[in-house]
Amino acid sequence: MKVGFVGLGIMGQGMATQLIKAGHEVWVWNRSPRAMEPLVAQGAHAAADLGSLLAGVEVVHSMLANDQAVRQVWLNDTALAGLRGKIHVNHATISIELVRELATAHAAQQAGYVAAPVFGRPDVAAAGRLNILVAGAPEAVALVRPLLEVMSAKVWPFGDVPERASITKIAGNLMLASAIGSMAEASTLTRAYGVSAADFLDVMTRTLFAAPAYQGYGKMIAEDHYQPAGFAMSLGYKDVGLGLAAASAEKVPMPIAGVLRDALLEALAAGDGELDWAALAKVAAARAHLQDRRKS
């Protein structure tokens, strides 16, 4: 199949690579052209611009950072005209408001819109082992499902309303943030009593919380190692904000999410926006003034 991929950050690179390995004719475009070079070396075709990419493909995937980037790339006359009769698979984690806007704009152009956000960090994308949530018109989902399967360990269907896949991703990221925040605060408490984060989290992630999210992020906290970021603090702040906005729209109180947003904002204010969001442990330690205690 002739497939396009737009947005070649660290996640998009791994995902597009899987499509190339599966034998598809892959066309790529990125606002920063240098990001196309590694994929061209693997056999992808570089498009001069988005319009020329859309002219030559049946399906286009995109993995962009946030609402602003998605809006700039897709909600303009040139892009929407180029999508006519094609299917757009959007992997970005974006607001429910924007999902609805995109679905409406695509329908006006007789284009298919499929929401397909993913769970998995860059190494998981590079291995083709993502968990992909998918929702959209049944015929569109059926056509793109084989493409999703080559990038994933499992494809999880959520019906024909795109926002349902998107809200599931947002809610999942709220749970991840809660897991990280609880480990950050609990390990800070043990450290204040002389028990290292490594010793505490080793027990917790082998017993009560023996799950991949706790084990992966717990290891980062135990090692105090937050670079390179698999998921940056700034993106975590964005996603928790998306959850709070969605909750407000449906009058769903989410006090824990509000606390997490403030902790993430505190990290951004400290200049730690590019660290992995496991660095919420730094916020907890700073609030407890652990460094000051050691000096006294």
Q: What is residue 24's predicted lDDT score, i.e. its pLDDT?
A: 97
Q: What is residue 127's predicted lDDT score, i.e. its pLDDT?
A: 98
The enclosing domain of 227 has a CATH number of 1.10.1040.10
My answer on whether 173 and 145 are in the same domain is: no
Cβ–Cβ contacts within 10 Å for residue 294, how many?
A: 7
Q: What is residue 260's predicted lDDT score, i.e. its pLDDT?
A: 98
pLDDT in tens, 216-227: 999 999 999 999
Output 44 or 294, whichever has higher pLDDT: 44
Q: What is residue 51's predicted lDDT score, i.e. its pLDDT?
A: 96
Counting other chains too, the contacts that 197-205 makes at CB distance below 8 Å and 24 or more residues apart are 197/221, 197/222, 197/224, 197/281, 198/222, 198/223
User: Residue holding tokens 């919380």?
Assistant: 209
My answer on whether 189 and 87 are in the same domain is: no
Least confident residue range of 8-22, 37-51, 231-245, 280-294: 280-294
In the predicted model, is pLDDT for residue 292 greater than 90? no
In the predicted model, is pLDDT for residue 79 greater than 80? yes
Distances (CA, A) of 27 to 12, 43, 56, 125: 13, 9, 8, 18
My answer on whether 8 and 91 are in the same domain is: yes
Q: What is residue 52's predicted lDDT score, i.e. its pLDDT?
A: 96
My answer on whether 139 and 181 are in the same domain is: no
Q: What is the pTM of this model?
A: 0.95
Tokens linked to 84: 């006519």
In the predicted model, is pLDDT for residue 296 greater than 60? no
User: Looking at this protein, which amino acid is placed at residue 294?
Assistant: R
My answer on whether 152 and 181 are in the same domain is: no
My answer on whether 99 and 193 are in the same domain is: no
My answer on whether 34 and 136 are in the same domain is: yes
My answer on whether 233 and 93 are in the same domain is: no
My answer on whether 115 and 69 are in the same domain is: yes
Q: What is residue 291's predicted lDDT score, i.e. its pLDDT?
A: 79
Exposure of 16 in the CB half-sphere (CA atoms within 13 A): 34
Which whole number is the average pLDDT over 173-179? 98
Q: What is residue 295's predicted lDDT score, i.e. its pLDDT?
A: 59
Tokens linked to 61: 């995937």
Q: What are phi and psi of 91, to 5 degrees?
A: -95, -5
Which whole number is the average pLDDT over 269-288? 97
Catalytic residues: 169
My answer on whether 111 and 136 are in the same domain is: yes
Rounded Cα distance between 181 and 33, Å, is 37
Q: What is residue 294's predicted lDDT score, i.e. its pLDDT?
A: 64
Which whole number is the average pLDDT over 114-135? 98
pLDDT in tens, 249-261: 999 999 999 999 9
Q: For all residues of the chain together, what is the average pLDDT?
A: 97
